[in-house]
A and B are shown apart, each in its own frame.
Chain A
Amino acid sequence: MLYRETGQFKTTYAADQAIFPIFQDRVFLFAIIAFAYIVIPLIASEYWLQAVLIPLLIFAIAAVGLNILTGYAGQLSLGTGAFMAVGAYSAYKLATGFPELNIIVVFILSGVSAALIGIIFGLPSLRIKGFYLAVATLAAQFFLIWMFNRVPWWYNYNSSGTIIAPPREVAGVMLTGPTATAETRYLLVLTFCILGGLLAKNLVRGRVGRHWMAIRDMDIAAEIIGIRLLPNKLLAFAISSFYCGVAGALLLFSYLGSAETEAFDIFVSFEVLFMIIIGGLGSILGAYLGAAFIWLLPIFLTNAPQLVGLSMPVDFQKHLEVMIFGSLIVVFLIFEPAGLARLWQIGKEKLRRWPFPY
């Protein structure tokens, strides 16, 4: 960046292993977090919080989860939407079945139930890999969504088949339901997002993360050097699904308010996969950047014609949007297959020496 790390000596192992070893980086990070917590709720309008920031952060959680599985452990999954659905429906059942249970605990528990389902659908990964596995995870996608549609127990036998997030409060503050303000919901999601990111970052740079990366790079070689595939692959599925489950629960409780299974269909899986590919496989920062890019791009495309004073029929514009979205993805993949995280890294290196070109 525009600063040097000169003179910052590491005198302890703890300092050497820190996530952000450079003082200025830490300041920068805390500034961003403070901005997100204090300034954004004050200045952002209802529309920005509700339509942009809340879903963006929720999808960032899911993207971190999928990045653990696909980017770090190398197991391609197309079942993200289904695992999010498991989280959402579990949260709904828990919240309506045990009304006195703290809603935060409900979110965590629905993550755990998604993790259990993830382990079950992760079992094929021991036999198959690559695209065969991706198609196998599609089985999870279609089967789970079908089950949530067909078994009325999941939506408490109501006639519409819709699940509605009940209002719940913690310590006197309304967190979910129609009366919760956009600001509180935003702060709740933001907290989950930051804690989740911190946890993921520490997981992937520890022992478990190294095992995952070894498996990703070549699982046979990993097995030969003594990494047990069964527990490690299943752990990757479990943790990834945990993140997706929490994200799904938040999607229902903090963003949508009420949902049907269509909210978790296969296109959600693709969307999250796009996020981690565009953001950068095997990078936690990339998951956040990718989520922001993929969520903001369609919003930008929707609003761009009005900004330049162009008006066109609605459905024509919708198709054009899809078309431009698709081609931008392809263009992006051609120019930077390693993703936004790599661009960020390159930019940082360049800025470090700026204004000198060497």
Chain B
Amino acid sequence: MEFLESVTITPFVMIAQDFPVFFGEVVFNGLLTGVLYSLVALGFVLIFKASGVFNFAQGAMVLFAALTLVGLMELGLPVWLAFIVTMAAMVALAYLVELLVLRHLINQPDIILFMSTIGLTFFLEGFGETLWGSNVKKLDIGIPDVPVDVAGMLFNSFDLIAAIACALLVTGLAFFFQYTPTGRALRAVADDHQAALSVGIPLKKIWIIVWSVAGIVALVAGIVWGAKSGVQFSLSLIALKALPVLILGGFTSVPGAIVGGLIIGVGEKIAEVYWGPAVGGAIENWFAYVLALAFLFVRPQGLFGERIIERV
């Protein structure tokens, strides 16, 4: 009874009390985290759309990019140069993945491709840490980290700047997909591989491009997460955080990834702050999954996913 009350009544009373300032802070902090989830989910969606590969290595790519960036900075390179070199490394990685892995696995069942990306995950984690060591590294790219007062609510200036940067990146990507010839080719490939091939779109080149873009997105995600919590092994686990975002938003939808990320971010924060104490805390790990699962019962294809039509 007491438990029921602590789950069904107390949280709402608390929300009413906290309204609007503290509750607003919780929601906005959720949104800021949500932007980061969107960023990681976006990497998944890009690759899934263009090649049908469920790229589990996205998290490892985040780790690898962040490790490389920090490693280069420790070697004495200025931030901007390290950033460019890391970007080049991610493009090279994309090229190698296409050349060594994807090319040989054309026409294999989805699950084989999925498993090969898990193999890639192991490889990248091992490679990154062999190259740069496994200590927790501090990533300082010179963004101020002070509390900022916005309309009576306290925020972290770093979070705000990161969120704005992410939003800009996402908008830029949306424009890239919508208006450039390459973007159009990408969308064509996503729609139908064979049709795209038959009108002369080079499939292999497209794959390299999406893996590169996903790599750069991973780099940005790695910088933001790395600067927040240090560059360490657990970075590769944020891939697991992005998965519920994917099922919520739909595997094939870029807007879905963004909106899904925001919903998960806010939902998770609210649940942790108001429902967490009742059930013993640390529910962030699974809450997003349960939220997404509940959602799937209503819309199996996700928020913006294409309607699944099956024929025999």
Q: Using a CB–CB distance below 8 Å, which chain B residues touch chain A?
A: 54, 100-101, 104-105, 108-112, 114-116, 118-127, 129-130, 134, 240, 243-244, 246-247, 251, 279-283, 285-286, 289-290, 292-293, 296-297, 300, 302, 310-312
A128 contacts the other chain (CB 8 A): yes
Distance in Å: Cβ of A77 to nearest Cβ of chain B: 11
- What number of A residues sit within 8 Å (CB to CB) of B? 45
Contact indicator A326/B121 (Cβ below 8 Å):
yes
Q: Mark A214-226, 1 if CB is under 8 A from B, else 0.
A: 0000101100100
- In this complex, what residue of A is CB-closest to B251? A131
Contact indicator A218/B247 (Cβ below 8 Å):
no
Task: Indicate which residue in A224, A277, A330 contacts B312 across the interface (CB closer than 8 Å).
Answer: A224
Task: Indicate which residue in A142, A220, A281, A323 contacts B289 across the interface (CB closer than 8 Å).
Answer: A142
A13 contacts the other chain (CB 8 A): no
Q: Mark A112-154, 1 if CB is under 8 A from B, else 0.
A: 0000000000001001101110011011001100100111000
Task: Indicate which residue in B114, B130, B243, B293 contacts A320 across the interface (CB closer than 8 Å).
Answer: B130
Q: Mark A37-53, 1 if CB is under 8 A from B, else 0.
A: 00000000000000000
A323-B123, A329-B122, A333-B116 known; A127 and B296 CB under 8 Å? yes
Contact indicator B251/A319 (Cβ below 8 Å):
no
Contact indicator B122/A136 (Cβ below 8 Å):
no
Task: Indicate which residue in B54, B105, B134, B286 contacts A315 across the interface (CB closer than 8 Å).
Answer: B134
- In this complex, what residue of B is CB-closest to A328? B119
Within 313-329 of A, Cβ neighbours of B (below 8 Å) are at 315-316, 319-329
- In this complex, what residue of B is CB-closest to A326? B122
A18 contacts the other chain (CB 8 A): no
Binds B, one of A84-92, A173-181, A266-274: A266-274
A266 surroundings in chain B (CB, below 8 A): 240
A307 contacts the other chain (CB 8 A): no
- In this complex, what residue of B is CB-closest to A222? B312
Q: How far is the CA of A325 from the CA of B123 in the complex (A)?
A: 7
A334 contacts the other chain (CB 8 A): yes
A337 contacts the other chain (CB 8 A): yes
Contact indicator A319/B104 (Cβ below 8 Å):
no
B119 surroundings in chain A (CB, below 8 A): 326-330, 333
Contact indicator B240/A329 (Cβ below 8 Å):
no
Q: How far is the CA of A294 from the CA of B100 in the complex (A)?
A: 22
Q: How far is the CA of A319 from the CA of B125 in the complex (A)?
A: 8
Q: Mark A59-76, 1 if CB is under 8 A from B, else 0.
A: 000000000001000001
- In this complex, what residue of B is CB-closest to A147? B286
Contact indicator A127/B300 (Cβ below 8 Å):
yes
Contact indicator B286/A333 (Cβ below 8 Å):
no
Contact indicator A135/B244 (Cβ below 8 Å):
yes
Q: How far is the CA of A131 from the CA of B311 in the complex (A)?
A: 19
16 new A-B contacts at CB < 8 Å, known A143-B290, A266-B240: A124-B297, A131-B251, A135-B292, A136-B292, A139-B290, A146-B283, A220-B310, A319-B125, A320-B130, A322-B126, A322-B129, A326-B126, A329-B115, A330-B100, A334-B101, A337-B105
